[in-house]
Amino acid sequence: MSIKIPNSPEADPSVLQIWGGAPLKGHVRISGAKNSALVLIVAALLCSEDCRLRNVPALVDVTLMGEILLSLGVKITQTGDVLDINATTIGKSQAPYELVSQLRASFFAIGPLLARLGAACVPLPGGCTIGARPVALHVRGLQLMGADVQIEHGMVNAYIKGNRKRLKGAKIYLDYPSVGATETLMMAATLADGETIIENAAQEPEVVDLANFCNAMGAKIQGAGTNTIVICGVPQLHTADYAIIPDRVEAATFLIAGAITYSELTVSPVIPDHLTAAIAKLRDIGAQVVTDSPDCLRIIPGSSLRGTDIETLPYPGFPTDMQAQFMALLSLSEGNSLVSETVFENRLRHVPELNRMGADIRVKNNHAIIRGVPMLSGAPVVATDLRASAALVLAGLAAQGKTTIQGLHHLDRGYEQLENKLLKVGAKLQRLPQSQANISPVSAINSDALIPS
Ligand code: UD1
């Protein structure tokens, strides 16, 4: 794998120009889930034999996670969307700061490293554009499993206490159903001595995907997808060949693309059950979502869009990762809508950018009050985080005239081939170097668009 540092300022970064108003038509192929891929790559550290992951999306974040494993001495080979990982030997227990600081999910490696090597040293990931994102729940859980954890000079140093070789099973109650904490602790517990029970666990489909992958490697995990996960530790895991689930956030983004442009689109493969909250909201807004086949959804637009309220919550509640994209749609929906972001403290930064395009949205604390407008107009805008960048693309598809989006490194972290997929269904857009787009560079105020999220 070759490294590409996603957040290093490029001399001439690219921008995306979108000419709004083009009707879309056709089918979009949905890639493997980014959030599953990231944690499943980390989970391969648990296995002392070869592992094969299929349906791995080609994303900057995935490349970066691969680089982190390489830096630990793990062997990785990529062939198309297949990743072969061999962590028989892990040369180091310390993950490098310059990589971890760019990708929060890489902190989750602390669980498998500790379980495999008895020691792990991982930099604190730090905050990001959408919020502080602490790791106290991960640390507390590892301590309950018999780890000594010290945080010094920005590094989390963990080792198994006493002369034990394995972590020990424990009963862990999470104060909040954190996805990352559930995943970190579930991975650590697979190789622990005895039974671990995680209560108030996250129930996200990616947590279930991780449990299924670990079970395919011989782990004994039950209850993933409910709020109580029981892991019976085993001494070691064996080889597995596993395909990652489809990306529910990408699927929702394309369903919204259909609704916002009044176009009929199909998306597959998807797992419709993973999209229940999004489908319910699309129906509230006036679109029809029908199941063409068990893994294929069709969006059929209504004659108009109407406002609705959304509150983000842990799964099965409405996902925070779809909030920004739905806000673009609600900005064009008749009447008033209220969007409440309860998961992250700073995840409404797309609002000023949508307002630059003519939306009428006010923010009060963690609430966005949206008055639907009849049209948006294309404008130069800046993406402030991954899902915000998708929201601006959606707004640009519906807006009159040309929208130019800067800050594309965010988009590239989480959407595989977004432009090509949109071009294939009829969108009018192009990526080009900023110097050719006739716009001024991102202003100092927006330069934190270069901070990872
Ligand atoms: C994961 C997803 C991210 C998604 C998020 C919520 C990955 C790689 N990323 O992030 O796309 O938006 O779930 O669905 O899977 N918290 C604490 N203490 C902790 C840990 C978390 O207070 O120790 C808080 C966070 O600050 C946040 C909330 O819990 O307010 C949710 O965070 P969490 O579920 O941990 O998100 P991530 O796993 O980081």
Instruction: Give all domains of the chain, ordered by start, each with its CATH number.
Output: 14-31+246-444 (3.65.10.10), 34-243 (3.65.10.10)
178 Cα–ligand 1 center, Å: 5
Nearest atom within ligand 1 for CA of residue 133: 26
CA atoms of 22 and 81, how far apart (whole Å)? 31
Instruction: Give the total residue count for the chain.
Output: 453
Report the C-alpha gap between 427 and 397 in whole angstroms.
7
Tell me the per-residue pLDDT of 155-210, one tens digit each, with 9 for 90 and over: 899 999 888 889 999 999 999 999 999 999 999 999 999 999 999 999 999 999 99
Q: Which two tokens stand for residue 146?
A: 């018999």
The predicted pLDDT at position 319 comes to 98
Torsion of CA 384, 390, 393, 395, to 10 degrees: -90
Given a contact cutoff of 8 angstroms between Cβ atoms, the answer to whether 70 and 215 are in contact is no
Residue 103 has a pLDDT of 87
Closest residue by Cα to atom 7, ligand 1, is: 35
Helices 179-190 and 34-43 meet at what angle, rounded to 10?
Answer: 30
Torsion of CA 172, 175, 177, 183, to 10 degrees: -40
Matching residue, tokens 């509150």: 311
Is the Cβ atom of 35 under 6 angstroms away from ligand 1?
yes
Phi, psi (degrees; rounded to nearest 5) at 304? -150, 170
User: What spacing in Å lies between the alpha carbon of 179 and ligand 1's midpoint?
Assistant: 5
Terminal Cα-to-Cα distance of the chain (whole angstroms): 23
pLDDT for position 382: 94
Report pLDDT for 227: 98
Atom of ligand 1 nearest to the CA of 136: 23
CB of 38 shorter than 6 A to ligand 1: yes
Q: Which of 396-405 are b and which e, b meaning 16 or more Cβ less than 10 Å from the residue's Cβ?
A: bbbbeebbbb
pLDDT at 444: 32
Token output for 291: 């199941």
135 CA distance to ligand 1 centroid (A)? 9
Residue with tokens 């909040």: 176
Residue nearest to atom 22 of ligand 1 (CA): 134
Q: 156, 176, 183, 325: which to mutate for ligand 1, most atoms within 8 A of CB?
A: 176
51, 128, 232, 296: which one is catalytic? 128
Q: Measured from the CA of 386, which atom of ligand 1 is nearest?
A: 11
CA distance 65 to 411: 17
**What is the pLDDT at residue 150?**
92
| 116, burial (CB in 10 Å: exposed 0-12, middle 13-18, buried 19+) | buried
Comparing CA positions, the residue from 242, 244, 246, 184 lying closest to residue 217 is: 242
75 vs 94: CA distance, rounded Å: 16
What is the reported pLDDT for 129?
67
Quote the pLDDT of residue 3.
41
From the CB of 133, is ligand 1 less than 6 Å away? yes
φ, ψ dihedrals at 205, nearest 5°: -55, -30
Q: What are phi and psi of 327, to 5 degrees?
A: -65, -35
* DSSP reduced 3-state for 338: strand
| Atom 39 in ligand 1: residue holding the nearest Cα | 180
How far apart are alpha carbons 392 and 402 in whole angstroms? 12
Cβ–Cβ < 8 Å for 280, 252? no
CB 323 within 8 A of CB 334: no
pLDDT given at position 2: 46
Separation of 60 CA from ligand 1 center, angstroms?
Answer: 20
Distances (CA, A) of 369 to 276, 301, 327, 336, 377: 24, 24, 10, 7, 20
Q: Do the Cβ atoms of 298 and 265 come closer than 8 Å?
A: yes
Residues 6 or more apart from 87 whose CB is under 8 A from it?
A: 44, 45, 46, 47, 48, 51, 69, 74, 75, 116
Counting as low any pLDDT under 70, the low residues of the chain are 1-12, 126-132, 440-453
Any ligand 1 atom below 6 A from CB of 320:
yes
pLDDT in tens, 375-389: 999 999 999 999 999
| Pocket of ligand 1 contains residue 414 by CB under 6 Å | no
Sequence-distant (6+) residues with CB within 8 A of 404 are 15, 16, 17, 18, 378, 379, 380, 381, 437, 439
Amino acid at 263: S
47 counts as catalytic: no
Mutational test site, ligand 1, from 40, 65, 133, max ligand atoms within 8 Å of CB: 133
C-alpha of 159 from chain center: 29
